[in-house]
Structure 1
Amino acid sequence: MQRFWSSRWLAPATSLGLGLGLGAALTGRRLQPGPEEGAAAGGLLARLPVLPGAAAASLPAGGELAKYGLPGLSQLRSRESYVLCYDPRGRSALWVVERLSAAGLSGAPERAACAFREDDSVHEYHRATNADYRGSGFDRGHLAAAANHRWSQKAMGDTFYLSNVAPQNPHLNQNAWNNLEKYCRSLTKYNKNVYVCTGPLFLPRMEADGKMYVKYQVIGKSHVAVPTHFFKVLILEKPGGEIELRSYVMPNCPVDEKLPLERFLVPIESIERASGLLFVPNILKRTSNLKAITADGTGDCLSLQRSHRSLQ
């Protein structure tokens, strides 16, 4: 069976960066904190070793151009179980980062007590609602998975904000994607920490006229964007200090759950180019002992260092 994605779709033309990190550069703090969020020093944000953003833009904090406020900045949300960067245009997250550990997977929260709900820290013009998903044919697919955060009722409950959700094909959500989530949890048995970054992709494909187009469906009155694909980047901290990188892409369509997950491994550069995000430079600031796992099971750190150095 052939792979569902094509390398030509992972083209540099698609960029979802939307000025990641710009808000931090302007204010030095998180923007528009939700009513349930703690101080900037709290939540998962303070515990993350890296964030998947590009270098922050250098702009003055005030001045004549900002006298009436700037119309939009990257929107970070730091909650108990994850950090996300929200995309108000797509009504979902650009990326969500969570930390998995063996201890965090144990506990007895009641999933039945959790309910999908609007994120009232997002302006009503830009938030998804449950009504948008009703009758759409898509699942409310968690980006930070609920089962990853069994250590507290609140941590699990926070994953049910619709800002942590994207429209996902039901077969994918309940089968192959679920297998990938289970695999991520299994890695906590052999690694000190497992950091998982998940997000949507909107990839171009060639149409009959020979031109490349980015086309995607929207659902509901809020026009929630339906991703063409999803990515998941795993940053594994080994007991000996080595960092291992694994990166996956799955199409947002039915996928044979019997296919080995290795079939969906892609070079991290493909996700960086397609999403507008950067992972490797941020990781290399903290370690030189990085190995990226490829589809053939091998790892190569030197080529990663060279390719990113050439862009500086």
Structure 2
Amino acid sequence: MSKTTLGLIAAASAATGAACTAIFLSSRKPAPAPAQPSPPANIAAGLARQKLERQPSTLVDPAGLFRYGFPGPVNDLATRHALISSYDRRTRNPHWVVEHITPESLATKGGDRKHSQFLEDESVPEMFRAKLHDYFRSGYDRGHQVPAADCKFSQEAMDATFYLTNMCPQVGEGFNRDYWAHFEDFCRRLTTKYPSVRIVTGPLYLPKQHPDGKWRVSYEVIGNPPNIAVPTHFYKVIVAEDGSTNGPVAVGAFVLPNARITNKTPLTEFVVPLEIVERASGLEFLKALPNARMKELCQEIQCDITVREFNNAKKAAKL
């Protein structure tokens, strides 16, 4: 990748899910020696790790991502079984949610989503909270950021994925129940090659050029009264580790429109430079990971989806 990179963010044509809505020009200088995270980041990461150490599971360690740097806001940081999230009170959606999957965590069966219920997060002040009734007849799915299918290793882990702080409004047919689900399956399949896969997922609100030539950010807000912002896009930052302490780390960044996407669309169409996700989200990723250790995920493995038939009728009944 050249130092000057045109990052193309694919976006929201309802017909194709791949029309271009924004072009970001970034000039990234070679990274200096890794800096220590700021004191707030150290505190947040430390608190998250302490909470996880009090939990019984040894299968996953989502706080392990923070060894590469802390992404950003520390407000409303929730540490739960199998995931850590940072919540945006303004949009009523998460800034990001971090998970960790391994071959062992995916193979262990102890939780079943039929025993889980969607929950409002009472750790967030009531006036800033996403509400269950906001989604009622909204036309959007309650879209998991950390999927329930990644957390079947215990019922507690499964239940943690059903808090609304792990949700965003997502287009259902053609996205959440289709292409996005295939993308989540791609992430799980990475564990056949990598013994440790860390994933950060979150929403984006990207500008669109209007007929007058000006760029504006516009998004729907659902609820009565209006409460939860509907993201225009979603990102995933994938960190695939080979299991060694100082070995290479395969990194992939993806941005997908919150819209119907045909299953024939190559996953590589949504690959973007990491700095594009950073500029669009206002977050920073992997600043403490030396460039020499970073490999491009889609140059290390083939990035494509496997189209599978999901039981959408059953899934829709729980949305």
TM-score (norm 1): 0.77
Whether the 8 Å contact between 1:10 and 1:271 is mirrored in structure 2 is no
CA distance in 2, matches of 1:176, 1:10: 25
Amino acid at match of 2:263: E
1:168-207 deviations in Å (ceiling 9; x for gaps): 0002000000001000001111102100000000000111
User: Which runs of structure 2 are paired with 1:147-166 in the superposition (5 Å)?
Assistant: 147-166=149-168
Deviation of the 1:283 alpha carbon: 2.4
Note the aligned Cα RMSD (angstroms). Answer: 2.9
Deviations 1:58-102 (A, max 9, x none): xxxxxxxxxxxxxxx622111111111110111110001100111
2:273 matched to which residue of 1?
267
Task: Give matches, 1:111-260, under 5 Å.
Answer: 111-171=113-173, 172-220=175-223, 221=225, 223-239=227-243, 241-260=247-266
| Cα deviation, residue 260, structure 1 | 2.3
CA separation of 1:82/1:5 partners in 2, compared to 1, >3 Å: closer, same or farther?
farther
How many pairs were matched up? 266
Q: Which amino acid counterpart does residue 159 of structure 1 have in structure 2?
A: T
- Matched position secondary structure for 1:183: helix
Structure 2 distance, partners of 1:272, 1:26, is 17
Q: Please give the per-residue CA displacement for 1:135-161, whole angstroms capped at 9, x wherever unaligned.
A: 000000000111001111000110000
Q: Which 5+ residue runs of structure 2 have no aligned equivalent?
A: 1-14, 27-36, 56-60, 302-319
| Pairing 1:95–2:80 present | no
Query: Deviation of residue 298 (structure 1)?
Result: 7.3
Q: CA deviation at 1:53?
A: 1.7
Q: How does 1:17-32 map to 2 (within 5 A)?
A: 25=40, 28=43
Q: Percent identity?
A: 35
Q: CA deviation at 1:293?
A: 3.8
Following TM superposition, the consecutive aligned residue runs of length 4 or more in structure 1 with deviations greater than 6 angstroms are 30-33
Aligned equivalents of 1:293 and 1:5: distance in 2? Answer: 24
* Alignment gaps of 5+ in structure 1: 13-20, 57-72, 300-312
Query: What is the alpha-carbon distance in structure 2 between the residues aligned to residue 10 and residue 280 of structure 1?
Result: 20
